Amino acid sequence: MNASDFDPDAWAAELRAKRAEKDEFFAEHPQSPIPPDERDGFEGLSYFDPDPEYRIEAVVRAHDRPDPIEMETTAGPNVRYLRVATFEFEIRGDPLTLAAYRRETASERTLFVPFRDKTTGQETYRGGRYMEFEPEGELDDGALTLDFNLAYTPFCAYSDAFSCPLPPEENWLGVAVRAGERA
């Protein structure tokens, strides 16, 4: 869908439906990160209202030779990722960049984008939030829509049974991103 085909009402309805589906998973699924003894009281995750201002066109700079990076985790050994791309974009006039990663041993094409912003530890989880993208075709220089409304809190925020990568300093944004999941 190109930008001229964007329907904000349909987009917001689809986003709310995905959020309701996720809430149902958290409340009922055996693999939910919510501890079983807390699921009866679970009333759903907290989200910022859908905001199309946080659907942002980013310039993609693919890395021909991805650099390895070790990410600290919340509860365990560091994990190795490859920095496969850099996204360049603006939020309210501020030029920003985020690095996108893939697990060094992974065969999937999903781009992992962990980040912190000025809401981290106040309005959102203290360890940061994540976004994931599945590029169409090969990862090349070009453009990609970053939808921060899809930013989510990692499972380790809900249970110590999970260990999650922490966003590296290169992905600490100096702006508030009031989109996606809240604390």
Among 57, 62, 88, which residue's Cα sits nearest to residue 141?
62
Residue 85's pLDDT is what?
95
Mean pLDDT of 71-79: 94
Query: Taking the model in full, what pTM does it have?
Result: 0.92
Position 180 in a domain: no
Using alpha carbons only, how large is the chain's radius of gyration in Å? 17
Q: What pLDDT digit, counting tens, does each position of 20-67 carry?
A: 999 999 999 999 999 999 999 999 999 999 999 999 999 999 999 999
Q: Is residue 117 part of a domain?
A: yes
pLDDT of 140 reads 79
Q: How far is CA 111 from the centre of its chain?
A: 10
In a domain, 149, yes or no: yes
The answer to whether 155 touches 26, Cβ cutoff 8 Å, is no
Cβ(144)–Cβ(98) below 8 Å: no
The per-residue pLDDT for 1 is 46
Residue 80's pLDDT is: 94
Residue 3 lies in a domain: no
Give the Cα separation of 130 and 35 in Å (integer).
Answer: 21
Q: What is the pLDDT of residues 109-123, one digit of tens each?
A: 899 999 999 999 999
The residue among 50, 51, 165, 5 whose CA lies nearest residue 99 is: 165
Asked if 96 and 113 touch (Cβ cutoff 8 Å), the reply is: no
Handedness of CA 19, 21, 24, 28 (dihedral sign): negative
| % of the chain residues with pLDDT over 70 | 97
Q: Which domain holds residue 73?
A: 47-171
Q: In what order do the strands lie in the sheet with 79-91?
A: 129-133, 111-115, 94-103, 79-91, 55-71, 142-147
In a domain, 17, yes or no: no
Q: Read off the pLDDT band of 2 (50, 70, 90).
A: low
The answer as to whether 167 is a domain residue is yes
* Overall domain count for the chain: 1
Q: Is residue 177 part of a domain?
A: no
pLDDT score recorded for residue 153: 98
Per residue in 134-145, pLDDT (tens digit) is: 877 677 788 899
